[in-house]
Structure 1
Amino acid sequence: MNQFLALTSFGIEQLLANEITEIGGSDVVQRPEGVYFSADFKTAYLICIKSRLASRVLISISEPSPVKDKDALYKAAKEIDWTEHFNSEDFFAVDFVGKNEHIRDSQFGGLTVKDAVVDCFRDAGLDRPSVEKYQPDIRIQARLLRNEVKFYIDFSGRALFQRGYREGTGAAPIKENLAAALVVRSGWLDDTSKPLVDPMCGSGTLLLEAVSMAAGISPGIDRQHWGFERWKHHQQGVFEQVLNEQKQISDKNLEQCTAKVFGFDIDGRVLKNAKANAKSAGLGHLVEFKQARAEELTNQFGKAGQILFNPPYGERLGTLPELVATFTELGKAFKQHFLDWNVGLITSSVEMLALLKLSAYKRYKFKNGPLDCQLALYHIDQQQLDRTPAQADFSGKENSAFANRLKKNVKAMKSWLKQNNVNCYRIYDADIPEYNVAVDVYGDHIVIFEYAPPKDIDETKAASRLQEVVYFAPRILNIETDKVSLKTRSKQKGKNQYQALSKSKKALTVQEYDALFKVNLWDYLDTGLFLDHRKTRRIVAKKSTGKSLLNLFAYTGSVSVQAALAGAEKVTTVDMSKTYLDWAQDNFELNKLRGHKYEFVQADCLQWLNENRTQYDVVFIDPPTFSNSKRMDKTFDVQRDHIDLLTIGMKSVADNGELVFTNNKRGFKMDFEALERLGLNAECLTEVTRDFDFKRNKHIHNSWVITRK
């Protein structure tokens, strides 16, 4: 009997142990690192061919050896006669797993073992074998556990879960061995005469694994390469006998299989892949695919059965708003159409499960790649239908305080929107403290900013309220869920103040009065247009008509655009970021503003002001609250440094000119005594510059006009 170790993914270990026992393995022991078992060669080949749950099978070729450092590891590896396992002309690779106080790096451990293997061949007077990292003839695995090392030969070869039938996949594919584990846990295999339905089938992996198991097909019968093929102790005759027997059994089982499974998906292109995969697997006659929305699924399958699916975690399905809407509607569909059915779904967005309004009778933890996931199992009985949700039911709009407030705001803003030519505005701004978000409309899109909740607020409640917001906001505002962007706002400092979220580089054009602006609702925390400064831009533009404007800390140049459209004679736009300066020039192009009188300067605004000798009729300064950018000589704090900023800023203001100064620091206090000593006046314009849609937030910004006495 030989000793083996079967590897698999987290959460599948117990199922794998059961599977190995059923196939014929003995002395089966489940451990965190995998499943140990004993078997003769015939049984070991059978396990490799029949296992649906293992990712790899290793055969032990040594007893454990104590290892504390590199020398001990080399000695342990050198004690094995590697010439008994493969030849000089074979390519080999070494995988090293584990670490201790002196061996902390898998590459270091692997190189040490590799040196010992090569030296073994040299000492035997043979040519040294070559290393091939990706497709070796022999793969060695050294496993260091509790300061003991054991050596294995990769018996099965890598990726047993790759069946070979997947010609194409969706955006969120699931590994075949995990799919098989979900089918086992669902309980459908207990009675495969019942229908099995996957309402989000993607490329069909779940269904193909299920129907293969129901048909009794061994997944390894068509595998092209095995780890043991070049191993000297491999028994080719025994293997061929086992393989041929399994091919005959699988063919016979497939002919007799009467199971039928059904797959649905909204994406027609993905369904083409699913059909091709089913055909490749020889299972096309047992699987029926149709294009449909999961939320609109009805019971067209006869007797009660099993629904099992893997929602795509937002990658193919979309963003959180789409997930919230989908999970909410799915829960209602299950209750309405699938009484007495079982439902199972795996998701990494565990908080979404509450939206189904169902009580799970069992949950299992798994890993899908790097994602921590849960498989939740439900039985749709009368108790589920009668169950009173512990949280607000999104299907009843009258039960949502947020929904009621948002509808009230929409009604209140109708006349203002008719009077003003704008299509981007704030419709909700933390009006109800429990729903601590802002909702901004950008044409036919919306952005939801989630403000970081206070530490004393329960995370579960905060998550539930956010789900409520993202469920109702697009419905009440008549916005499609794929046009909703969700961002989390917290206090940003320094280099994080314009935090990049992703790099989709998507853009949207919006209108403000007669101006067009490019906004990006996806890639950055800010969108490229500060909506609260809408009136500020109009005031500065009016002051700049027929005059010159200097726009500092210009961001995407929206103030400059409005001034140019209002007839400013000269506009100079200064910002330290090339990205935002390019964005500003794009905004000028959008509005067909071209010419030598429009100047764009990439520079540290404070340093540029110190060196500038040109004076302007109007200077606009909207600095960050705090900055410690690497390209600035020192940190900047608007409360601490505003007098220094205004002092150098006024040097660029022409006689009888004005400096408009704004900032977003909550509780900002102007130092009037310092201004008095400088001979300057400061007129507060905050109430004037705050537009109708920001009336609820008196701390959104501060605005001042600074002039000489």
Structure 2
Amino acid sequence: MSTILQTTDSASQVYALEITCPLGLENVLEKELHGEGLTQTRLGEAQVKLTTDLEGMYKACLWSRVATRVMLPIANFKMESADDLYNGVKAIQWSDHMSATNTMAIDCHGTNHHIRNTQFGAVRAKDAIADYFVALSGERPNVEKEQPEVRIALRIKRDVVTVSIDLSGESMHRRGYRQQGGMAPLKENLAAGLLLRAGWGTDCGLTQLIDPMCGSGTFLVEAAMMSLDIAPGLRRSYWGFKGWKQHDHRMWQQLMDFAKNRKKDPATLGIRFQGTDREQKAIAAARENIKRAGVTGVIDVTMSSFQEHEFDINPDAPGLLITNPPYGERIGDEMALIALYRQLGEWVVNHVRGWQFMMLTSNDHLARQIPARPEKSTRVINGGIECRAYQFPLLAGSIKEDVVAQSVMTPGAQMFANRLQKNAKKLKKWVEKNKIQCYRLYDADMPEYSVAIDIYQDWAHVQEYQAPKSVDPEKAKQRLFDVMSAIPSALNISEAKVILKQRQRQTGKEQYEKFDQTKHEMIVEEYGCDFIVNLKDYLDTGLFLDHRPVRKLIQDKANGKRFLNLFCYTATASVHAGQGGAHSSLSVDMSNTYTEWARRNIELNEFSDRYHQVERADCIEWLKQSRDTFDLIFMDPPTFSNSKKMADVLDIQRDHGELVRLAMARLAKGGELIFSNNYRRFVLDEALEHEFEVKNITRETLDPDFDRNDKIHQCYIIKHKS
């Protein structure tokens, strides 16, 4: 039997609300409600239950900075079958809450043995409400998913169903000032809750707030709105209660007018809000959010790293430093970020002693890099990631003075930074002249620092070579830390844009296995060609940098040619051939991942798939069966492969003779085969030089970023003898 929880006897109706909030901020929400005079509360998990009248309900919606939704439960009942769900929903007096002409949406949360998916639960509830109104008036309400006049929430927990009116209509973190899409910043209500937890508020006595890695400015905007007493719901145009039958438009408008009059004059505020970020997009988003929130002139944001920026700090006034720095989810990310956290810790104890400091991170090891003892921490969920907001009082007893005395940059890191800057200076003119966006900056130049560092626009892609067993693991770890801490300062790039991978010999399916699931893709340009690269998800990025001159050679030779690209990888050479005017191209590889990537590269450059085709096949078997001929062939096979997709194991030193002969059988008279491989001890079969015209062009295919290592690849042009 359905239990009705709300009735409509009089204007003085009392409502039992459930106000949800981010997990961990229940106490903050309750205190906030008490501050608005809403004191009949009871704490729950990720919610506060509030008993209040209609005016109190409106105040909760308009003034709560921490709440996620304001829910009005109207019935609950036991459910032992899908029919019980239908009957329980239909038994509610829906005419007390809406009419048949209203639009509605139903959100279902939770499942049990009878309702196995939420969509089915929502459909059964929708049918019940529609049938209720058909029986009452012959009409039925329409469904509107985006902004319905009445939004209904269905919560299923074991065998109990709770039906509620969602008075907020959509998540209350949407204040209306932040542009949707693009970046994925902290949600506004989580930011506000953490600010309140840190002690910020309208009359907190703090006169300075700094966010040194402000992103799109959420902490700064929320703090400014608190200090100016701007109601967080003031800019919202859509509310779930506006189509609810018991909505009192006049009362709501009076509360809105009162809220507008409560706003303080910024000129009398006397509080400094400052933020920095080294990302141009972040600062642009922050400035737009500041403008849309109506706090222009109150907050100062600058595109700069906090280490280099000179903040306007009053040493005699109390303040709060609050930030949400990057926290990597992969081991390589953590290594890159340790230096950032140490620099942040060193900066705060040197510049804002006596302040409060709050930092949000998901990584306890990174949090320990701050040279202060946290007073307390709050567990919260940010973007689906479990995090903690650490509060550090920057007072004499809490600061670890012995840690502060240590230098962030070790002598080894400083030496490595000097080498990077030297290499960057050496390559600068060549990079700028040829508009090179992706190049190798460092490749184990110093044997003890055995890494390769490639630059992709403003990202650094670091590959650690597998250390010999004779190397002490602790020493190797320290050297890697030296590398990762040196890169951001030496190259002036964000720590979050340093990607670390360990490189070792790959066999079989390992060549194609994912490292990550981030789908971190970007578009880079090379000699008029655009390529999709992915710095995180695979061992390789989709672009072999050492073959840049080979691709340019193909582009120069391709005009009017029929081009064949064997072991094509992501078909970058085929794109260059198309850019060079190739009549057609065929790209062959046995990997599903790379052939799909190849098609996307070709499509990106707007070449017709009618003339520029990609085929998934074992290249050796394909060569044996094909009877087509080509004017220009590029073949860059792996050094070794034992993939299950191949008929045989491929060993390039042993098998290259057969491969070349098979490719030459497909080469038209007067055509050229460009044969390359990356086996450092490769020796060309002498018999090939007797059968064909062979020219070693390895030295000609090494650009300045690879000329320190003439074994990075071997490259030949092979022709039929006249």
Q: Return the TM-score normalized by structure 1.
A: 0.70
User: Does residue 231 of the first structure (1) align with residue 244 of the second (2)?
Assistant: yes
Task: Indicate conservation of the 8 Å contact 1:342/1:377, yes or no.
Answer: yes
> How far does residue 241 in structure 1 lie from its aligned partner after superposition?
5.8
In structure 2, the residue corresponding to 1:300 is in which secondary structure?
Answer: coil
1:208 maps to: 221
Give the Cα separation in 2 of the matches to 1:297 and 1:103. 59
Task: Indicate conservation of the 8 Å contact 1:200/1:311, yes or no.
Answer: yes
Deviates more, 1:332-341 or 1:303-312: 303-312
Structure 2 counterparts to residues 570-589 of structure 1, below 5 A: 575-576=587-588, 577=595
User: Does residue 119 of the first structure (1) align with residue 134 of the second (2)?
Assistant: no
User: Does residue 98 of the first structure (1) align with residue 116 of the second (2)?
Assistant: no
> How far does residue 74 in structure 1 lie from its aligned partner after superposition?
0.8
Show structure 1 runs of 5+ residues with no match: 510-515, 541-548, 588-598
Task: Indicate conservation of the 8 Å contact 2:574/2:587, yes or no.
Answer: no
> How far does residue 138 in structure 1 lie from its aligned partner after superposition?
1.3
2:626 maps to: 611
Structure 1 residues 371 and 11 mapped into 2: Cα distance closer, same or farther (>3 Å)? Answer: same
- Pick aligned residue for 2:31 from 8, 18, 23: 18
1:590 maps to: none
In structure 1, the residue corresponding to 2:88 is in which secondary structure?
Answer: helix
Give the Cα separation in 1 of the matches to 2:225 and 2:17. 26
> How far does residue 174 in structure 1 lie from its aligned partner after superposition?
3.2
User: Does residue 336 of the first structure (1) align with residue 350 of the second (2)?
Assistant: yes
Structure 1 residues 471 and 534 mapped into 2: Cα distance closer, same or farther (>3 Å)? Answer: farther
Deviates more, 1:271-280 or 1:159-168: 271-280
Amino acid at match of 2:544: L
In structure 1, the residue corresponding to 2:75 is in which secondary structure?
Answer: coil
Structure 1 residues 361 and 92 mapped into 2: Cα distance closer, same or farther (>3 Å)? Answer: same
Structure 1 residues 430 and 449 mapped into 2: Cα distance closer, same or farther (>3 Å)? Answer: farther
Q: Sequence identity of aligned pairs in percent? A: 26
Give the Cα separation in 1 of the matches to 2:258 and 2:425. 75
1:155 maps to: 167
Give the Cα separation in 1 of the matches to 2:234 and 2:673. 79
Amino acid at match of 1:507: E
- Pick aligned residue for 2:156 from 103, 124, 144: 144
Task: Indicate conservation of the 8 Å contact 1:613/1:652, yes or no.
Answer: yes
> How far does residue 92 in structure 1 lie from its aligned partner after superposition?
1.6
Give the Cα separation in 2 of the matches to 1:170 and 1:459. 41
Question: What number of residue pairs does the alignment pair up?
Answer: 651
Structure 1 residues 12 and 291 mapped into 2: Cα distance closer, same or farther (>3 Å)? Answer: same
Give the Cα separation in 1 of the matches to 2:457 and 2:63. 56
> How far does residue 116 in structure 1 lie from its aligned partner after superposition?
0.5
> How far does residue 385 in structure 1 lie from its aligned partner after superposition?
6.2
Deviates more, 1:347-356 or 1:117-126: 347-356
Give the Cα separation in 1 of the matches to 2:66 and 2:457. 50
In structure 1, the residue corresponding to 2:221 is in which secondary structure?
Answer: helix
Give the Cα separation in 2 of the matches to 1:289 and 1:153. 41
Task: Indicate conservation of the 8 Å contact 1:54/1:160, yes or no.
Answer: yes
> How far does residue 53 in structure 1 lie from its aligned partner after superposition?
0.9
1:306 maps to: 319
Give the Cα separation in 2 of the matches to 1:410 and 1:228. 60
Structure 1 residues 350 and 575 mapped into 2: Cα distance closer, same or farther (>3 Å)? Answer: farther
User: Does residue 345 of the first structure (1) align with residue 359 of the second (2)?
Assistant: yes
- Pick aligned residue for 1:262 from 273, 276, 285: 273
> How far does residue 5 in structure 1 lie from its aligned partner after superposition?
0.9
2:71 maps to: 58
In structure 2, the residue corresponding to 1:229 is in which secondary structure?
Answer: helix
Deviates more, 1:44-53 or 1:32-41: 32-41
Give the Cα separation in 2 of the matches to 1:20 and 1:226. 19
- Pick aligned residue for 1:438 from 433, 446, 452: 452
Deviations 1:372-426 (A, max 9, x none): 4432322334467653449984323x154xx6468689999999999xxx99557
Amino acid at match of 1:182: L
Task: Indicate conservation of the 8 Å contact 1:324/1:352, yes or no.
Answer: yes
Structure 1 residues 532 and 463 mapped into 2: Cα distance closer, same or farther (>3 Å)? Answer: farther
Give the Cα separation in 2 of the matches to 1:125 and 1:417. 77
> How far does residue 83 in structure 1 lie from its aligned partner after superposition?
2.0
1:505 maps to: 523
Task: Indicate conservation of the 8 Å contact 2:523/2:533, yes or no.
Answer: no
User: Does residue 471 of the first structure (1) align with residue 485 of the second (2)?
Assistant: yes
Task: Indicate conservation of the 8 Å contact 2:524/2:530, yes or no.
Answer: no
Amino acid at match of 1:121: F
Task: Indicate conservation of the 8 Å contact 1:575/1:581, yes or no.
Answer: no
Show structure 2 runs of 5+ residues with no match: 1-13, 555-562, 589-594, 606-610
> How far does residue 181 in structure 1 lie from its aligned partner after superposition?
0.8
Task: Indicate conservation of the 8 Å contact 2:371/2:400, yes or no.
Answer: no
2:9 maps to: none
Answer with 1 or 2: which has the greater Rg: 1
Deviates more, 1:221-230 or 1:89-98: 221-230
Task: Indicate conservation of the 8 Å contact 2:373/2:400, yes or no.
Answer: no
- Pick aligned residue for 1:86 from 69, 75, 98: 98
Structure 1 residues 109 and 699 mapped into 2: Cα distance closer, same or farther (>3 Å)? Answer: farther
1:374 maps to: 388
Deviations 1:269-309 (A, max 9, x none): 86677567556655556x24253522223453242433434
Structure 1 residues 532 and 461 mapped into 2: Cα distance closer, same or farther (>3 Å)? Answer: farther
Structure 1 residues 217 and 341 mapped into 2: Cα distance closer, same or farther (>3 Å)? Answer: same
In structure 2, the residue corresponding to 1:507 is in which secondary structure?
Answer: strand
Task: Indicate conservation of the 8 Å contact 2:68/2:171, yes or no.
Answer: yes
Structure 1 residues 452 and 103 mapped into 2: Cα distance closer, same or farther (>3 Å)? Answer: farther
Amino acid at match of 2:225: S
> How far does residue 162 in structure 1 lie from its aligned partner after superposition?
3.1
Task: Indicate conservation of the 8 Å contact 2:107/2:154, yes or no.
Answer: yes
Structure 1 residues 6 and 463 mapped into 2: Cα distance closer, same or farther (>3 Å)? Answer: farther
In structure 1, the residue corresponding to 2:241 is in which secondary structure?
Answer: coil
Task: Indicate conservation of the 8 Å contact 1:625/1:664, yes or no.
Answer: no
Deviations 1:610-660 (A, max 9, x none): 43587999996624633769xx7x555325994975885686799xxx999
Task: Indicate conservation of the 8 Å contact 1:689/1:703, yes or no.
Answer: no
- Pick aligned residue for 1:67 from 70, 73, 79: 79
> How far does residue 504 in structure 1 lie from its aligned partner after superposition?
2.0
> How far does residue 325 in structure 1 lie from its aligned partner after superposition?
6.6
Deviates more, 1:490-499 or 1:182-191: 490-499
- Pick aligned residue for 2:300 from 289, 292, 297: 289
> How far does residue 143 in structure 1 lie from its aligned partner after superposition?
0.7
> How far does residue 688 in structure 1 lie from its aligned partner after superposition?
12
Deviates more, 1:24-33 or 1:35-44: 24-33
> How far does residue 29 in structure 1 lie from its aligned partner after superposition?
3.3
1:591 maps to: none
Task: Indicate conservation of the 8 Å contact 2:28/2:66, yes or no.
Answer: yes
Structure 1 residues 322 and 235 mapped into 2: Cα distance closer, same or farther (>3 Å)? Answer: same
Structure 1 residues 120 and 372 mapped into 2: Cα distance closer, same or farther (>3 Å)? Answer: same
User: Does residue 43 of the first structure (1) align with residue 56 of the second (2)?
Assistant: yes
In structure 2, the residue corresponding to 1:233 is in which secondary structure?
Answer: coil
